[in-house]
């Protein structure tokens, strides 16, 4: 098969929606903190302790590519047929820092990303990075991102120092995102302290499985806490085909209803809708790292074809054959255009 090309000759533009970058300053701070023994988060130590010290080919190339928002990235996009990247701050971004540093890195990352988007407006669209450690500042940064920087959504890398967004102290973030009509991409982080140990023991804490456990659970926590009853127009995006939740729709509905009825948990109160309704009305999923036709077709069937979007997960996943595999999905030309292009344009307001 020929190499995919940009420019729409397949009948659609390819918009990749979970693409990562890292300011050199953030990588430098991570390196310093690791070297100083200043970090005790087991997930961060496992993930970035590896990426920032390994000399193997994949981690060194990932760390270099993350920091390039210029020629190298554009050449990679040209070589894999990606017309536009929706770019976001790589995990865990600000979410490993104390509050003041986190706010500083969010601001710096957003200013750098906005500059790259201004240089290449036809290739890059940005998402706003925030420091959930300071929810009021995060709310203001969401507004600045939307109004001044031209960003089209928000990135949050799952838990922040073991805390999840269903805690009402974070809800200023949801209020700001809903007001700006900015989708929040809940991207994986390594599992929180209480969740990680058995995964870590088996080498399963990272992208192979732990990311999905952490992030799918995070979204479920938002649902059962009633976040979408309080913020009915809130839009959430998750990668990796919904972090396995689409497979669980039936059981989630059945068990949620049964649990509420039996009044087993004070924390599990009645919701206005079924868990699957929120997953079908407030959530969009992307195919990052899941270039697998049966799973993609299943998600289109049980969610909705408008809710399944293409993503690559550059530079962690950079495999031209995966673009080709998705070009070959058993879809009509119109469906394929929605999958690669117009679903993303509609969701992010491009
Ligand atoms: C990995 C995968 C790292 C994904 C990521 O960010 C990431 C990895 C730190 O393979 O270590 O975003 N991913 O989304 O699958
Ligand atoms: Mn990713």
| pLDDT tens digit sequence for 273-312 | 999 999 999 999 999 999 999 999 999 999 999 999 999 9
> What residue ranges of the chain have pLDDT lower than 50?
none
Q: For ligand 1, atom 10, name the residue with the nearest CA.
A: 207
The confidence score (pLDDT) of residue 292 equals 98
The token pair that represents 97 in the structure block: 């820092």
Q: What integer pLDDT is reported at residue 1 of this predicted model?
A: 63
Q: What is the CATH T-level fold of the domain 15-348, as seen in this structure?
A: TIM Barrel (3.20.20)
Q: What is the pLDDT of residue 181?
A: 98
Ligand nearest to the CA of 46: 1
Atom of ligand 1 nearest to the CA of 48: 9
| Predicted pLDDT at 78 | 98
| 206-217 residues labelled b (16+ CB within 10 A) or e (exposed) | bbeebbbbbbbb
| pTM of the entire predicted model | 0.98
Which residues are part of the catalytic machinery? Answer: 313
Distance CA 106, CA 93 (A): 8
> What are the structural domain ranges in the chain?
15-348
- Cβ of 20 below 6 Å from ligand 1: yes
Pull the structure tokens for residue 134: 């300071």
pLDDT score for 2: 77
88 burial (CB, 10 Å; 0-12 / 13-18 / 19+) is: buried
């Amino acid at each position: 098969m020929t190499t995919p090309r940009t420019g729409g000759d397949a009948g659609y533009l390819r918009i990749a929606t979970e693409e990562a970058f890292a300011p050199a300053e953030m990588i430098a701070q991570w390196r310093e903190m690791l070297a100083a023994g200043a970090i005790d988060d087991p997930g961060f130590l496992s993930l970035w302790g590896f990426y920032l010290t390994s000399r193997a080919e994949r981690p060194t190339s990932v760390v270099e590519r993350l920091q390039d928002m210029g020629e190298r990235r554009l050449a990679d996009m040209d070589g894999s047929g990606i017309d536009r990247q929706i770019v976001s701050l790589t995990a865990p971004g600000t979410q490993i820092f104390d509050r003041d540093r986190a706010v500083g890195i969010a601001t710096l990352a957003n200013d750098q990303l906005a500059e790259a988007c201004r240089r290449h407006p036809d290739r890059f669209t940005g998402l706003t990075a925030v420091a959930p450690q300071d929810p009021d500042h995060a709310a203001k940064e969401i507004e600045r991102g939307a109004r001044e920087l031209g960003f089209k959504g928000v990135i949050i890398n799952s838990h922040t120092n073991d805390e999840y967004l269903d805690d009402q102290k974070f809800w200023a973030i949801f209020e700001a995102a809903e007001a700006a009509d900015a989708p929040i991409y809940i991207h994986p982080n390594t599992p929180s302290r209480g969740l990680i140990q058995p995964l870590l023991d088996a080498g399963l804490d990272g992208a192979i499985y732990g990311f999905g456990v952490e992030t799918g659970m995070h979204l479920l926590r938002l649902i059962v806490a009633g976040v979408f009853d309080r913020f009915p127009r809130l839009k959430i995006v998750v990668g990796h085909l919904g972090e396995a939740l689409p497979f669980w729709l039936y059981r989630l509905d059945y068990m949620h209803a049964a649990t509420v009825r039996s009044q087993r948990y004070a924390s599990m109160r009645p919701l206005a809708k079924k868990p699957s309704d929120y997953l079908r009305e407030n959530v969009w999923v992307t195919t990052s790292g899941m270039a697998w036709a049966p799973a993609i077709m299943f998600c289109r069937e049980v969610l909705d074809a408008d809710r399944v979007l293409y993503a690559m997960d550059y530079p962690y996943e950079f495999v031209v054959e995966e673009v080709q595999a998705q070009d070959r999905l058993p879809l009509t030309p119109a469906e394929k255009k929605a999958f690669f292009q117009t679903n993303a344009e509609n969701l992010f307001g491009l």
